[in-house]
Amino acid sequence: MNLDSVAPSLKPVPEQSFWDEPPTSPELEAEMEAYALTTPDTSNQNLEEYARAMELNRQMAAEYALPGQEHWCLPDEVRNGRKLHSAEFITMLRNRCHLGAWTIDSDTPGFVGLWLQKDPAGDEVPRFLGRIQIGWMPEYQLAAFDRRGLLAGWRGIGWRTLLLEMIIRKYITEEQMNTVFGRPQGPASVRTKEILYGLRNRL
């Protein structure tokens, strides 16, 4: 299991081009649907075709939704959890988890690459773990969704996600995470606890 199994790779949200369909919100789509249903010169056949197309669109979007996506739809104030500054996060990895930890510039604005070494005094080559957000980091991933409600990328990388990847790669243990960073708590921690349970029981 790697970081991609915990959450899809960080990618920027695609920009809107001139030829793209104009973005809409659920509220605007509801208004458009209500208008179509109340316009006098709209035939019943057109309304039925429109309704079928809307239902098909909803079904297709639901099929492409990722498992557990409902957890990423929680409000930001819930998923932010206990924010942690990236500088403090690196210091805790070095001083309390006794890892070699370095950051290197990334091609993604606002992020740097995190490199780790299990034994800072040893000859092991540092390895790339993932991107880390510069400044204040949310505890859990902050997702970006397109107008159909499908995952389009990440607005913030949670420090819990990075810790999960460290546990998977055996840089730290679950016990170390709980001791140094505290246990995952709150409604946004459900997915994290499921992954930890699976790792504990080799599911």
Between CA 111 and CA 24 the distance in angstroms is 29
pLDDT tens-digit profile of 184-201?
A: 998 888 888 888 999 888
Kindly report, residue by residue over 145-198, the tens digit of the pLDDT: 777 677 767 788 899 999 999 999 999 999 999 999 999 998 888 888 888 999
CA distance 182 to 177: 7
pTM of the model: 0.65
Cα(203)–Cα(200) distance, integer angstroms: 8
Full strand arrangement of the beta sheet holding 111-117: 100-105, 111-117, 127-133
Q: Assess contact for 142 and 160: CB atoms under 8 A.
A: no
